[in-house]
Amino acid sequence: MPSNPLKLTILGSGTSMGVPSLGCHCRVCTSSDPRDNRLRPSVLLSRNGQQVVIDTTPDFRQQALRIGLQRLDAVLFTHAHADHIFGFDDIRPFNMRQKSPLPIYANAETIEVLRNAFAYVFDGRPKVSTVPAVTVNHISGRIELLGTTITPIPLVHGDLNVLGFRFGRAAYLTDFSAVPDSSLPLLQNLDDLILDALRDTPHPMHQTVEQALRLIDQLKPRRAWFTHIAHELPHAETNERLRSLGYPHVQMSYDGLELDVEVEDRTPSPKIELQQSAPFAVFSSPQAWNTYYAPLHRGSVLAIGNFDGIHLGHQEILRDVAHRAAISGDVATALTFEPPPLKVLRPDAAPRRLSTNFQRIEWFRVMGLESAVVHEFTLELSKLSPEEFVKQILVTQLRVRAVLVGENFRFGYRQAGTAEHLKVLGSHLGFRVIAVPPVVYRGEVVSSTAVRREIAEGNVGRADRLLGRPFVLTGDVVSGKGIGHRFTVPTLNLVADQELLPANGVYITRTLLDGESKSRRSVTNIGMRPTFNGTALSVETYLLDAPEEFTAKRIEIRFWKRLRGERKFATADELKAQIARDVAATHRFFSRLRTFRSARQPVGYSSD
């Protein structure tokens, strides 16, 4: 299975002072070739919508702005020289947007310098203003990030021990004067080697062009790229020199250069990641989308699917769409259908939906997309051949530049089109197709079907893990029969918008009342109310901390854990006693959760 490539972007290709160097009027510092403009050395690694930078240079803020960086998942440090760490304070906006500390990875020496240089980050004292929030990871071996493995490469940089990094078939080695013999085996079979080549005259801490070429002769990567370049080396002229020296596969890198790197997949650990929203628009047809965006000369990066539940697999696709669109400037768009095609084509076989159309749209927005097209699905639409579907809808109307679909994606009349088919059409019609491999959680492919099964069986805890967030029911509050109130405890009765309910039983939940921003602890019963000889299925929720006055017309119930099955009690008093035990269990559950969280997610100081 070919896996998603990792994208490497050169954020800065310059030496510690950058090029132009302040006050210098040499021909490179005054060159009009943009590739002679070099910010301080750093790269961005991105994959599946996640992003990692190597080093936070003094230019980090500018580099992040230049590529429209929307989120950050980790920072790897090579070493602690000022040109590699001084942008560290600028990770704060990502802390705030993502509402979580940022993992940083470095060797012990680098962490020591960071602690001194940025003492206010690590001293654990209360702050009146924001400081970077991080979790500190000492690098002691391979690192799992971006759904793949990153290998640290020990290097010598003058009298310092520093790190380079290898990921799949590429390695990034900035700042070094020598590669220890023990690191050479880690650098075999590379497609792309990005390496220090400061200038021609020797330097105690960096490689010269000559030394870089000797290392390239030894390691034989398919391509090599210079970085950490000083103002002595003009871009175009040096490339010309490399060609004439017999190194056509060796080039100067430059800010903005992007490389696709082949990497191996590792099962990602599921976690939810919300993005702050940009402006967001919903269209009822591809034509409507076209009317809006065509005059702006904007195309789309497109996700197509049903997205029922927006589980971890969907989230991965949507994140990737948002990310690619942020880089290319196209409109991050989801194309989905209403009703779901199966409800039209084979109503008997159509599964109960986990989510409403409204929830789907809300999630598109939250995942950072810019627009959604909710196209009415009709028999007529189902008769389009795969080619017609692609030409009419994707190419003509949605002006597609790239499409991301799940690997098992099917489209067109009789579901004849596959992801492979789409790739062929894309190569003829000029758009990229990325088939995103499924997310695997504990050995199982995450799918809407799997989530539905867990919900139907009442395993809401497991369903929550596949969804990356609690399963929710939304709906109107109706006044119940009043029996609950008279005999036991006051409850809210919900008419759920969703088609699929968790199995009958009692659940630990949190309930959000319309108009409030914080959910309240609750216990929710789904069932027939057998103690009162009920005959209709009801969803009743009991708030552990109810407001004085109760005015909400709509509520949202978030399911955390199943407590027990539904039982018939002999008397209302017995039921009331059981409810008291359920309430106590719920309080215990959330208290434990709180302790666990504060122990695991230190904000503002290190965890090592």
> Which one of the spans 26-34, 434-442, 449-457, 500-508 is the region binding Zn ion (CB under 5 A)?
26-34
CA–CA separation, 478 vs 466, rounded Å? 31
Distance of closest approach, residue 178 Cβ to Zn ion, in angstroms: 13
- Residue 36, interface with Zn ion (CB under 5 A)? no
Q: How many helices (H) and strands (E) does the chain have?
A: 18, 30
- Residue 59, interface with Zn ion (CB under 5 A)? no
CA–CA separation, 47 vs 167, rounded Å? 12
- Residue 82, interface with Zn ion (CB under 5 A)? no
Q: Which is nearer to Zn ion, 174 or 239 (CB)?
A: 174
Q: Which is nearer to Zn ion, 76 or 555 (CB)?
A: 76
Distance of closest approach, residue 343 Cβ to Zn ion, in angstroms: 59
Peptide bond into 386 cis (omega under 30): no
CA distances from 77 to 53, 72, 98, 133, 205 (A): 9, 14, 21, 16, 17
> Which one of the spans 22-30, 121-129, 370-378, 525-533 is the region binding Zn ion (CB under 5 A)?
22-30
Return the SS3 of 587. helix
- Residue 503, interface with Zn ion (CB under 5 A)? no
- Residue 38, interface with Zn ion (CB under 5 A)? no
- Residue 29, interface with Zn ion (CB under 5 A)? yes
> Which one of the spans 120-128, 175-183, 299-307, 473-481 is the region binding Zn ion (CB under 5 A)?
175-183
Q: Which is nearer to Zn ion, 43 or 390 (CB)?
A: 43
Where on the phi/psi map is residue 325: left (φ > 0), alpha (ψ -120 to 50), or beta? alpha
Name the DSSP letter for residue 130. Answer: -
Distance of closest approach, residue 180 Cβ to Zn ion, in angstroms: 17
Site string for Zn ion, 196-235 (x = CB under 5 A): -----------------------------------x----
Amino acid at 243: R
Distance of closest approach, residue 75 Cβ to Zn ion, in angstroms: 16
Judged by CB under 5 A, how many residues of this single chain contact Zn ion? 9
Distance of closest approach, residue 93 Cβ to Zn ion, in angstroms: 24
Name residues whose C-beta falls within 8 Å of residue 223's C-beta, 6 or more positions apart in sequence: 191, 192, 193, 249, 250, 251
Work out the angle at residue 55's Cα, subtended by the Cα atoms of residues 52 and 57, and round it to the nearest 5 degrees. Answer: 125
- Residue pair 89/62 in contact (Cβ under 8 Å)? The answer is no
Return the SS3 of 465. helix
Distance of closest approach, residue 16 Cβ to Zn ion, in angstroms: 5
Distance of closest approach, residue 239 Cβ to Zn ion, in angstroms: 18
Q: In this chain, which of 59, 83, 320, 330 binds Zn ion, going by CB under 5 A? A: 83
Q: In this chain, which of 59, 90, 175, 582 binds Zn ion, going by CB under 5 A? A: 175
Q: Which is nearer to Zn ion, 234 or 527 (CB)?
A: 234
End-to-end CA distance of the chain: 37
- Residue pair 340/253 in contact (Cβ under 8 Å)? The answer is no
> Which one of the spans 23-31, 109-117, 239-247, 385-393 is the region binding Zn ion (CB under 5 A)?
23-31
Q: How long a stretch of residues is the chain?
A: 608
Q: In this chain, which of 35, 47, 71, 81 binds Zn ion, going by CB under 5 A? A: 81
Nearest by Cα to 532 from 486, 584, 500: 486
- Residue 401, interface with Zn ion (CB under 5 A)? no
The residues with which 506 forms a beta bridge, in sequence order, are 525, 564
Q: How many beta carbons lie within 10 A of that of residue 295, not counting itself? A: 8
Q: Which is nearer to Zn ion, 191 or 232 (CB)?
A: 232
Distance of closest approach, residue 84 Cβ to Zn ion, in angstroms: 6
Q: Which is nearer to Zn ion, 198 or 492 (CB)?
A: 198
CA–CA separation, 136 vs 267, rounded Å? 22
- Residue 24, interface with Zn ion (CB under 5 A)? yes
> Which one of the spans 17-25, 61-69, 545-553, 562-570 is the region binding Zn ion (CB under 5 A)?
17-25
CA distances from 53 to 66, 293, 456 (A): 14, 32, 42
Binding site for Zn ion (CB under 5 A): 16, 21, 24, 26, 29, 81, 83, 175, 231
